Amino acid sequence: MERTLAIVKPDAVAKGFIGEIIKRYETNGLGIVGMKMLRLTREEAEGFYYVHRERPFFKSLVDFMSSCPVVVLALEGDGAIKKNRDLMGATDPSKAAKDTIRNLFGTNIERNAVHGSDSKDSAAFEIAYFFNRLEMIR
Ligand code: UDP
Ligand code: MG
């Protein structure tokens, strides 16, 4: 079993897609072991996306991620990291495969509906960023 971190981003929360997105995790072998709704401060969004701090899109991304509430999930399943990346689709919704979450619910390359950890190291960092031991069911 492996764990990964997912975020339903502000665009998808605002459009009312929380349920549709979570249904895709639950029906594709990704069990929910932690979940919370919160609004990130600018500082919290900057810390989460620290690896991207030198990228040209960083400031806009931080503005977006701290603009509205998000839903953060710790997901567990066999090969959970890759499974979630496959369910999400490519970063740019217009290039994401048909029926992926970003293809269905994303707006553009920034407002792309969901986040998913991209490696074991980032999953460990990202889950610990949002959840302590008592906030997960196991
Ligand atoms: N992003 C953006 N412009 C870009 C690339 C990425 O606004 O040209 C945003 C987008 O929200 C993306 C996030 O930055 O999900 C993190 O980028 P990354 O390359 O890690 O993509 P992901 O792993 O989310 O597919
Ligand atoms: Mg990434």
Cβ–ligand 1 contact at 57 (below 6 Å) = yes
Sheet containing 2-8, strands listed edge to edge, beginning at the edge strand earlier in sequence: 31-38, 70-77, 2-8, 114-116
Is the Cβ atom of 108 under 6 angstroms away from ligand 1? no
Q: How far is the CA of 116 from the centre of ligand 2 (A)?
A: 7
Q: Looking at residues 43-70, what average pLDDT do you find?
A: 98
Assess whether the C-beta atom of 92 lies below 6 angstroms from ligand 1: no
Q: Phi and psi dihedrals of 5, rounded to 5? A: -110, 130
Using one digit for the tens of pLDDT, what is the confidence trace for 77-135?
A: 999 999 999 999 999 999 999 999 999 999 999 999 999 999 999 999 999 999 999 99
Mean pLDDT of the chain: 98
Catalytic residue among 100, 115, 130, 131: 115
pTM: 0.98
